[in-house]
Every structure is written in structure tokens, then in C-alpha cells.
Amino acid sequence: MPLQSLPQSATEYANTQRKEILAALALVQRQWRRMGDNFDASYALIEPKLLEATFTAQERVAAGALAYIPDVMAESGLEGPRTPLYEATPKAFVGTAGSGLPVATLLYESVIHAKTAVGNGSTVAQALDSSSKWLTSATGTLLSDTGRSAEKVAGSARAVKLWTRMLEPPSCGRCVILAGKTSRSSEAFLRHPKCDCRNIPSSESTADDVRVDPRAYFDSLDPAGQAKLMGSQANAQAMRDGADLNQIINAYRRKGAVSTAQVNGRNIKFTREGTTRRGYAYSQMSKAEYVKAQGQLRQRAGNSNRYQERLKAPRMMPETIYATAKDQADAKRLLSLYGWI
């Protein structure tokens, strides 16, 4: 199966937008390097150029998005009104962040970030370096949001009702498991900082033609890329042995969800994700009589909802499974037992 089947206009638009954003980030970083130890005074000097670079990038990104939607609709054979229901201009997307904050306020957060870092014991150099990374991430997210907002407005003007999520490789696991998901135009685009995924306008009959397949994306990577995507060599091997991508990625969805403990002199890595009654791991581990063996269930304190009851038995991560398995057949048996396959 090919990695993806996307309209050429979508690929060209993604490449152009990426270049616009990277160019803007380079300008932002160049200005930030002029910062001195008097944060407010030095920021006042760079702020005009910083805002100029960001506003210009917002306008260019929005212009590209507004032009892209009719192009991709035409290429995909999607019908819409002969003329847009309304017109939008690129300048309408300048000056405001996706959160509703003025861009000037958002960018000044970098100074607050630097001051806070110094207050917590960082040197000026360390604070400025940390704030540079924060500013770069915030600006990249801002510009991606600008593009998505313009895409939605342009789509609404042409009565687009359905959108399919596409990856912008290289992608992280959180994005890969959402690849190919369809949503109505009224639904929010879930993303995380630095996420550069986008939605492709589609219809009930054409959504599959622009669907990105998560498994195909994994298979397209070399072993090093697979390990980076999955978080470890063991997780990547589990995928090659038939594990479910969603199960592995979701094991890390909460901070601290994967833990390490020492049992009988051996370090084991485990998670509690998926071990509630609704979880797939619960059903798999229960078949192996883990509920009975581990003293039935453990219920969260103060929570009477039966679906929040979870197994006492820890769910072994693939790393521990491969370290303890007797052979390949035993590893696959354990992967299935713990709900990874």
C-alpha cells in the first residue's frame, strides 16, 4: 500500500507553507539573538522587526491557504457554489493567535519566560536559550494555526462539509494515529504544539482517496525512523511483530503513564493505560486469568464508576516483554497477553 494518495495541490501547498514558516522562524531567531541581559530594553529594540516578520508570514501563509482550497477541491472533483458564499482576505488573519491573543502579547511571553527562568536560578544565557526555543515553538504553532484558520474559512465559503486529516511527514506518533480521520467542519482540529498536520477537504464518497494510512506511514520508515516514531527499538519491533500502533502510542499519552520498577532484582517497564474495564489490555489480560491471580480489581479511591476499576496487575511494556521472553514465539504470546497485539 502506498504511504498516501493526496492531490498534487495538497502536496505543493504543504511544501510551500513549510518553507514560509521555516523562513519566518529563521528571521525570528535572528532577532532573538540580539537580546541582552536587560530583557525589557532589548526586547523593545527587536519587537518591531519581530512583529513585522510574524505579520508578514501570517499574511503569506493565509494567502496560500485561501488559494489552496479551491485548487484542491477542483483537483479532487469536489463541487461547491460557483462563486464563494463570501470572500476572505489574507490580512484578516494577521495579528491574532489561534487562542485569540494578540500576536504582540503572545510573543512578549518569551520575555516573561526568560525572566521566570532567571528567577528559578538559570543564567541569563540559559534563560535566553530556553526562551528562544519557546518563541520558535510558539511562532511555528501560531503560523500553522493561521493556515488552518484560513483553510477552514475558505472551505466554509465553498460549503465544504467534511475534512480528512493528513500527515506532514516526519510526524510524531500522536499525529500518526489520527491520520486519515475525518471530521465535520464544525469540529475542532486537535493538535499539539509544533503539530503541522492539516485537513484536506473531502466528501463522503472521496474521503478514502485522500486518507493517510498510519500503518503505511510506519512501514515507509527505516528502522531508525520507526524506533524514533514509536519511542524505542522494542516498541518498533513490537509493531513489526503485529502490535497495534494506537495501543503503543496511547500508552504514553499521559505524563508518567509509563513507569519503571524493580521486581525480583530485574527492572521492568510497565503502564496502567488500557487496564480499566473499557481497555483492550483489560480484556486480554483477563483471559489469562490475571484478574483472579492479582486479587480481582483495584478501584480508584472515591470513584464508584465501575469503568474506572482497573487491574492490579501491571501491563508490561514491549521492552520488558522482549527482555524476558524465551524466544520469538513467546514474545508474541506475551505481546498478545498484555494487549499490544
pLDDT at 306 exceeding the cut of 60: no
Residues pairing with 167 in the sheet: none
119-166 pLDDT, tens digit per residue, is 999 999 999 999 999 999 999 999 999 998 999 999 999 999 888 888
Q: Over 50: is that where the pLDDT of 2 sits? A: no
pLDDT at 321: 94
Q: Binning pLDDT at 50, 70 and 90, where does residue 1 land? A: very low
Query: How far is Cα 161 from Cα 272, in angstroms, rounded to an integer?
Result: 38
Spatial CA neighbour of 106 closest among 70, 63, 136: 136
User: Residue 192 to residues 140, 142, 186, 189, 195: CA-CA distances in angstroms?
Assistant: 12, 12, 19, 10, 5
Q: d(Cα 57, Cα 176) in Å, to the nearest integer?
A: 27
* Per-residue pLDDT tens digits for 180-227: 888 886 565 666 766 777 788 887 645 454 556 788 889 989 999 999
Which region holds residue 270: left if phi is over 0, alpha if psi is between -120 and 50, else beta? beta
Q: 102: which strand partners?
A: 96
CA angle 107–108–114, rounded 5-degree value: 110
The partner residues of 96 in beta bridges, in order of sequence, read 102
pLDDT confidence of residue 295:
43
State mean pLDDT over 105-118.
97
Contacts of 331 (CB under 8 A, 6+ apart): 241, 321, 322, 325
